[in-house]
Amino acid sequence: MNNYVTLDFNKKHPGLFGDVDAMTEPLWQWDYGMILVVKGLPTKDTTEIHFYQKDSHRLAYRIAPEVEDVDIDDDDEFHVYIPNLMLEVQQNIEVFVYITSKNVGQTVRKGIIPIKGRAQPADYVNPDKEEEVSNMYEAMVSLSHDVAEKAIEVGQTAEAVEQVAEEINQIKGEIDQTAETISQTAAEVSQTAVVVSENAQAVEDAKAIVEADKEIVESLMRNIDDVPTEGSENLVKSGGVWEAIQEGGGGTYDYNMLTNKPTINGRELSGDMELEDIGDVPIPDEDIVEAVNSAFSA
């Protein structure tokens, strides 16, 4: 079975008109897998075969040679597939031979493939469409696989998001607990500040008492130091003794000449007396120093 027609530009075809250079044997509508053999081209440069149906505005391109399993008797023959889609319409196919070189593209020949009309066979399947459907099916299968993988990824992502949400809630609980602890600590600090303030006031009060005690002790020490002695340059300036002299008029530098001398335990203080002479037990010096130091350090 011959599944090709020949467009021979070396022969003159009767009945041709206008700019048509050659015409093939007619093909039946609904044929498919047909091959066009082109002969008599003027050059061996890159050749494109353009198929065109004017009324349906269908256009297809083929690069010659395209078919490898056709016996070619002549070196100047090219062979390409005729578009199956154009064979589905009862409309002649115009064929343009287009030669291209480095800087030039030119249409050099025009031919016609006549199409004879007939009813569509019941078992007709366009191989181009079948391949297209097959490609679409493969694409759909691949897409379904991609969708399934994406669904798994989305599921994993949702699980990860849920886990992150749980971690966030846990962290939020810890933050709330920490805030409560900070609030409690702030209350405790405030209470401590009040206690510290009260203690500070108590310390100030204690210092005032100590200062007062120091003044009393210093006053007592001054009274002891101000007792006049014979031969001193300055007479007593203050204390009970000086006031007694002021009231009695006149004065003396000799204590023994005084009248109404002071007494302790009913014994008059006169001359060189010891504590035992007035009935008192002497206090060791270290005890006196310790008592004074304790009073000043309080």
Q: What tokens appear for 289 in the block? A: 């120093």
Report yes or no on 224 lying in a domain: yes
Residues 10 and 107 in one domain: yes
Task: Walk along the chain (298 residues) and give the pLDDT tens digit of each residue.
Answer: 678 899 888 887 666 667 888 999 999 999 999 999 888 876 666 788 899 998 888 888 777 666 665 555 555 678 889 999 999 999 999 999 998 887 888 888 899 999 999 999 988 887 776 555 555 556 666 777 778 888 888 888 888 888 888 888 888 888 888 888 888 887 887 787 777 777 778 778 878 887 877 777 677 667 655 555 544 444 444 444 444 445 555 566 677 777 777 887 777 877 777 767 776 666 677 777 777 777 777 6
Residues 19 and 113 in one domain: yes
Report yes or no on 215 lying in a domain: yes
What are the φ and ψ backbone dihedral angles of 50, each rounded to 5 degrees?
-105, 120
Residue 73, domain CATH: 2.60.40
Q: Which of 70, 101, 121 is the last residue of a domain?
A: 121
If one counts the domains in the chain, the total is: 2
- Cα(15)–Cα(60) distance, integer angstroms: 26
Residues 111 and 216 in one domain: no
Report yes or no on 173 lying in a domain: no
Determine contact, residues 247/254, Cβ cutoff 8 Å. Answer: no
Report yes or no on 149 lying in a domain: no
Query: Strand pairing partners for 222?
Result: none
Q: Which of 91, 121, 151 is the last residue of a domain?
A: 121
DSSP SS3 for 286: helix
pLDDT on residue 280:
63
Q: Which of 87, 102, 121 is the last residue of a domain?
A: 121
Q: Encode 36-62: b = buried (16+ Cβ within 10 Å), e = exposed.
A: bbbbbbeeeeebbbebbbeeeebebeb
Report yes or no on 232 lying in a domain: yes
Report yes or no on 37 lying in a domain: yes
Report yes or no on 156 lying in a domain: no
Report yes or no on 185 lying in a domain: no
Determine contact, residues 94/109, Cβ cutoff 8 Å. Answer: no
Which residue segment(s) compose the domain that 112 sits in? 4-121
Residues 106 and 209 in one domain: no
Contacts of 283 (CB under 8 A, 6+ apart): none
pTM: 0.43
Residue 284 DSSP one-character state: P
Residues 117 and 223 in one domain: no
